[in-house]
Amino acid sequence: MARRAFVKKRLGYLSRTVFTFNILAIVALLISYSASFINPRTFWPIAFFGLGYLPILLVNIGFIAYWLLRKPKMVVFSLLTILIGWPLLTKHWNPRSTDPITVKTADHIRVLSFNAHLFKDIHDPKKNFKNDALQILDSIKPDIVCFQEYYSKIKGKYVISNEIKIKLGYDYHYFAESSKNDYEAYGMTIFSKYPIVNSGNILDNDYGINRISYADIKKNDSTIRVYNVHLRSFALQNEDKEFIQNPSSKNETDNQAPRRLGRKLKNAFEFRSEQASSLKRHMNACNSPYIVMGDFNDTPMSYSVNLVGKGLHNAFKEKGAGWGVTHYEMLPIFQIDYIFASPAFEVLNYHVVNKKLSDHYPIWSDLRLKNY
């Protein structure tokens, strides 16, 4: 009762209305935090709040701006809620400045991850950007490269792995094919300048092109395991993307599009949580230092990303700068590609290659084994 009296006494009708919506935004923000630790298999609606974290955060920042102009003391409600979630916010946004690109030395392991979208230009599917991708590798010179949605001919001069080997010196690679015929194949690929001594796939919860592969790589006296990750996508079709970008479209009945979209999102949240659990079990059984990178198809607020990243170094969180956007198609606000490393590593830097070839930006990082 005292709280109600305070609100009525100190706030006018407009501000009381704004305060009511402010409380709703605060509750939504708190629920979005819980998406990082509540398994969608347990209660899937929470995952939607996690996906909407950034818009919900911006709404709360808008309320802070409003109260600064009207009643500055009222900013404490949204401000305190944002500060409670600060560790999660810094997985999306890092206030530090960008590090200059360092010179790679012998004790560095430079890794790069890129969802190549079958090397088809996102704006012009008839255009192949393979040569642009090779130029990126040539300029950055990573030691280990993980491709998701990798595509290649099987025979002849258009076998990309042969070009990468001959032109760029990646003598070792593991191609985990999702689909293959006599002429072409696509799937996941790990390229390495160091010998690959073992490789395989995590078969639990394998969804075709959305899978997890790994390779054990020998560098001097150390063996390092590299996980190449491509978790279950939302499988959105053009009509789904059109609805997201233009929800007022009348191409379909009012309920058909949102129901279809909601079903796809729900299924993907649950499938990714299962894949993340399979990956975590595999990581826990690994006796070597390991690196996990790839396209997780989910945000830093998600259960799957936080489950995999728990106890690991997050390259963006430690050395990234600004907003960690890695996927720019449709809504260019999402970070869904990651580089994690086990505690045996030190993260030296993290960079995003801001070139719009695929619908993802390539990401790379320099790591160093602490006992090297």
The ranges assigned to domains in the chain are 2-84, 109-369
Q: Return the pLDDT at 207.
A: 85
- What are the contacts of 277-286 at 24+ separation with CB within 8 A? 277/205, 277/307, 278/202, 278/204, 278/205, 278/212, 279/202, 279/212, 279/227, 279/229, 279/308, 280/307, 280/308, 280/310, 282/202, 282/212, 282/214, 282/227, 283/227, 283/308, 283/342, 286/225
Q: Return the pLDDT at 249.
A: 57
Cα end-to-end distance, the chain, whole Å: 64
Give CA–CA dist 242/236, Å, rounded.
10
Residues 109-369: name the CATH superfamily.
Answer: Endonuclease/exonuclease/phosphatase (3.60.10.10)
Q: Return the pLDDT at 6.
A: 47
Low-confidence ranges of the chain (pLDDT < 50): 1, 5-6, 8, 240-241, 243
Q: Return the pLDDT at 251.
A: 57
Q: Return the pLDDT at 67.
A: 95
Phi-psi region of 208 (alpha: psi -120 to 50; beta: other; left: phi over 0): left
Give CA–CA dist 342/39, Å, rounded.
23
Answer yes or no: are the C-beta atoms of 176 and 201 closer than 8 Å.
Answer: yes
Q: Return the pLDDT at 183.
A: 83
Give CA–CA dist 342/370, Å, rounded.
11
Query: Any residues with CB less than 8 A from the CB of 72 and at least 6 apart, and which?
Result: none
Q: Return the pLDDT at 140.
A: 95
Q: Return the pLDDT at 240.
A: 44
Give CA–CA dist 325/335, Å, rounded.
4
Q: Return the pLDDT at 341.
A: 98
| DSSP label at residue 301 | T
